[in-house]
A = this chain, B = another copy of it.
Amino acid sequence: MALNSNHILNGFLDRDISPLDRGFAYGDGVFRTMKIVNGLPLHWPQHYQKLVADCAVIGIVCPSAELLVDDIQHLFTPDETAVAKITITRGEGERGYAVPAVTMPTRLVSKSKYPQYNPSNFTNGVHLRVCQTILSAQPKLAGIKHLNRLENIMARMEWQNDSTFDGILLNANGDVIECTMSNIFARFGNKLITPNLAQCGVAGITRQQILSVASVFDLSAMADTIPLSKLLSADEIIICNSLYGAFQVTQITHDELKKSWQTQDLANIIRAQLKHD
């Protein structure tokens, strides 16, 4: 445990990244962000499983869970609530896109403060806007949380006001995919729908957990195509990620239009169920 360190690289506290790292050169890697509670990651088995799966999509062998847990235990105190970010890259390589014959993946675990969410997010929900930046379709990379995140950055640059919690990202057809840092669900009666991520978007673990636990709340949950107009006609909308769990969406602005929803219970119920409170 290292009180003054904020990151550990390949097991070495505070070591910096080589300029030859393909994560820096090309975004050739994946990452995950998770809530640390009492010094340990909430929902670690799901996070690690997703990390391994995302690495596999781009042909990286993920370091062992033991190494990563060891890194986490070096970086966080046993009573700490914080955020851990794990980044796995293909490792160092000479210039050029060709993957070296032998690679040693880079593993970075970084610590940051747990965000101070506005208390009204929990009681009154959050406001979203619809971004102009569209997500491009790339079935080979869809669903994974890779390091090529310029689209999210361009979308996030579209607003500065603090009252917008996140931005909705559409694909080129105008279908809802996700938000810049969240997945999204729309409830119609007892049906809970989240966008199909076969072409773009990040399939987060909280999204997967909600799909799995929905039946506990007498909801049938599935992934499907959701045009923006359909989203705006939902009975209830929630967003989710691994840090805040789930929030209800009580307002969406799109160009000059504004649609509002009364506060409801689903986000609070899910947050409690997933132990995010």
Q: Establish whether residues A150 and B153, one from each chain, have CB atoms under 8 Å apart when the complex forms.
A: no
Q: Establish whether residues A26 and B138, one from each chain, have CB atoms under 8 Å apart when the complex forms.
A: no
Which residues of B have CB within 8 Å of A150? 26-28, 58, 141, 146-148
Cβ of A230 within 8 Å of any chain B Cβ, yes or no, is no
From A17, A19, A136, A147, name the one whose CB has the most chain B CB atoms within 10 angstroms: A19
Which residues of B have CB within 8 Å of A85? 95
In the assembled complex, how far is the CB of residue A90 from the closest CB belonging to chain B, in whole angstroms?
8
Cβ of A224 within 8 Å of any chain B Cβ, yes or no, is no
Within the oligomer, what is the number of copies of this chain? 2
Tell me the complex Cα distance, A156–B58, Å. 12
B interface footprint on A131-143 (CB within 8 Å = 1, 0 otherwise) = 0011011101100
In the assembled complex, how far is the CB of residue A215 from the closest CB belonging to chain B, in whole angstroms?
33
Tell me the complex Cα distance, A153–B26, Å. 8
In the assembled complex, how far is the CB of residue A72 from the closest CB belonging to chain B, in whole angstroms?
15
Tell me the complex Cα distance, A96–B33, Å. 10
Cβ of A24 within 8 Å of any chain B Cβ, yes or no, is yes
Cβ of A152 within 8 Å of any chain B Cβ, yes or no, is yes
- The count of residues in chain A whose C-beta lies closer than 8 Å to any C-beta of chain B is 55
Which residues of B have CB within 8 Å of A24? 17, 21, 23-24, 87, 147
Cβ of A65 within 8 Å of any chain B Cβ, yes or no, is no
B interface footprint on A4-33 (CB within 8 Å = 1, 0 otherwise) = 000101000001111111111111100101
> Which chain A residues (217-244) contact chain B, with CB distance < 8 Å?
none
Which of B21, B97, B153, B154 is A149 in contact with, Cβ under 8 Å?
A: B97
Q: Establish whether residues B16 and A97, one from each chain, have CB atoms under 8 Å apart when the complex forms.
A: no
Cβ of A180 within 8 Å of any chain B Cβ, yes or no, is yes
In the assembled complex, how far is the CB of residue A123 from the closest CB belonging to chain B, in whole angstroms?
23
- Report if A149-B16 is in contact (Cβ < 8 Å); known contacts: A137-B137, A140-B133: no
> Which chain A residues (60-114) contact chain B, with CB distance < 8 Å?
83, 85, 87, 94-99, 108, 110, 112
Contacts A/B (CB < 8 Å), 22 sampled: A16-B16, A16-B19, A17-B24, A19-B110, A22-B153, A24-B147, A27-B27, A27-B148, A28-B153, A33-B95, A94-B112, A95-B110, A99-B157, A133-B140, A136-B136, A136-B137, A136-B200, A137-B137, A137-B172, A140-B151, A147-B150, A148-B150
Q: Which 4 A-B pairs have the closest CB atoms?
A: A27-B27, A16-B16, A136-B136, A148-B148
